[in-house]
């Protein structure tokens, strides 16, 4: 049986045809321009493929409340051309098949839960640190939504001693995203992260903010595994720094087997950067079975 998956990102749209085993059989990528330019290309890709359902893992904020009049909409996104856009409705109208819909980060977590390093877990956290910072949460075996959906990138940070950076977030300044996302690194140091790979002071400070956020998430959510993805986390030297600082932040307050084996508790994404699109396929599988 065939399923469609769409990982809708701020810069590109990845469309795939996959199956129930998580195998990607066909793929196409389109730039995220305006809906008028990008939607026809995506619809053409999925038409005539005999897919049972479509899953959309989408940048946001998005409306996930099925009782809402704007369910399936991209809402107050900084991508102005896509603001208040009924992306689910447009696909439903054109394809007339079941559609699963969730955030891009919940999609990445779902991919890891189904086929990756979080398989078998009921409580897991996926954090992406790249152009922005976002997180997907599974609690008691269910993806967490609530009032809207978690916005883990916008919790305020305790600023490191001697750090005078004002933060890059236009809403909150020194929130997690404002201090640690890719644009914050470039704004603070005058170079992109990939050009700073040999500069230890950059990654010491970066790991401080990431670890601080993770320690708070551990205390609030008690996940069984924490997965870190996104472009910034391609700096593999961050992982040992983050693990060490998380333990320092927790200060011995928690004593669990997971923290005792922290190298296998705070881990990189495991699906070769396909976790998001594979999660979108799983959203389609679940929608077809509802």
Q: What is the pLDDT of residues 177-197, one digit of tens each?
A: 999 999 999 999 999 999 999
Both 163 and 264 in a single domain? yes
For residue 283, give its domain range.
2-104+273-288
Q: What pLDDT is attached to residue 79?
A: 86
Both 143 and 263 in a single domain? yes
Both 263 and 283 in a single domain? no
Q: What pLDDT is attached to residue 78?
A: 78
Q: What pLDDT is attached to residue 224?
A: 98
Both 142 and 256 in a single domain? yes
Q: What pLDDT is attached to residue 26?
A: 98
* pTM for the structure as a whole: 0.94
110 located within any domain? no
Both 241 and 155 in a single domain? yes
Q: What pLDDT is attached to residue 148?
A: 84
Q: What are phi and psi of 258, to 5 degrees?
A: -65, -45
Both 263 and 131 in a single domain? yes
- 266 exposure class (CB count in 10 Å sphere: 0-12, 13-18, 19+): buried
Q: Which two tokens stand for residue 182?
A: 């890719």
Q: What pLDDT is attached to residue 192?
A: 96
Both 161 and 248 in a single domain? yes
Q: What pLDDT is attached to residue 120?
A: 96
Both 230 and 243 in a single domain? yes
Both 41 and 24 in a single domain? yes
The C-alpha atoms of residue 168 and residue 186 are separated, in whole angstroms, by: 10
The C-alpha atoms of residue 196 and residue 190 are separated, in whole angstroms, by: 10
Both 47 and 126 in a single domain? no
Q: Which residues of the chain have pLDDT under 50?
A: none
Both 133 and 242 in a single domain? yes
């Amino acid at each position: 049986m065939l399923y469609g998956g769409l990982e809708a990102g701020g810069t590109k749209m990845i469309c795939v045809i996959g199956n129930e085993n998580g195998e990607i059989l066909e793929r196409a990528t389109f730039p995220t321009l305006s809906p008028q330019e990008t939607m026809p290309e995506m619809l053409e890709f999925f038409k005539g493929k005999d897919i049972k359902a479509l899953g959309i893992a989408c940048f946001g904020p998005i409306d996930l409340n099925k009782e809402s009049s704007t369910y399936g909409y991209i809402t107050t996104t900084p991508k102005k051309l896509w603001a208040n856009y009924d992306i689910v409705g447009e696909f439903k109208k054109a394809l007339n098949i079941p559609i699963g819909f969730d955030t891009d980060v919940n999609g990445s977590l779902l991919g890891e839960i189904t086929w990756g390093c979080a398989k078998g877990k009921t409580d897991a956290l996926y954090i992406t640190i790249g152009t922005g910072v976002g997180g997907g949460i599974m609690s008691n075996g269910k993806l967490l939504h609530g009032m809207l959906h978690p916005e883990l990138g916008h919790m305020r940070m305790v600023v490191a001693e001697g750090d005078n950076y004002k933060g890059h977030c236009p809403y909150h300044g020194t929130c997690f995203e404002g201090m640690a996302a890719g644009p914050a690194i470039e704004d603070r140091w005058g170079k992109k992260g990939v050009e700073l790979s040999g500069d230890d002071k950059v990654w010491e400070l970066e790991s401080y903010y990431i670890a601080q956020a993770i320690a708070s998430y551990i205390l609030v959510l008690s996940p069984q595994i924490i997965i870190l993805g996104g472009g910034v986390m391609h700096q593999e030297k961050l992982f040992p720094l983050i693990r060490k600082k998380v333990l320092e932040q927790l200060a011995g307050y928690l004593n669990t087997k997971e923290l005792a084996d922290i190298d296998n508790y705070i881990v990189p994404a495991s699906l070769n950067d396909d976790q998001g699109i594979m999660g979108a396929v799983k959203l389609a599988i679940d929608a077809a079975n509802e």
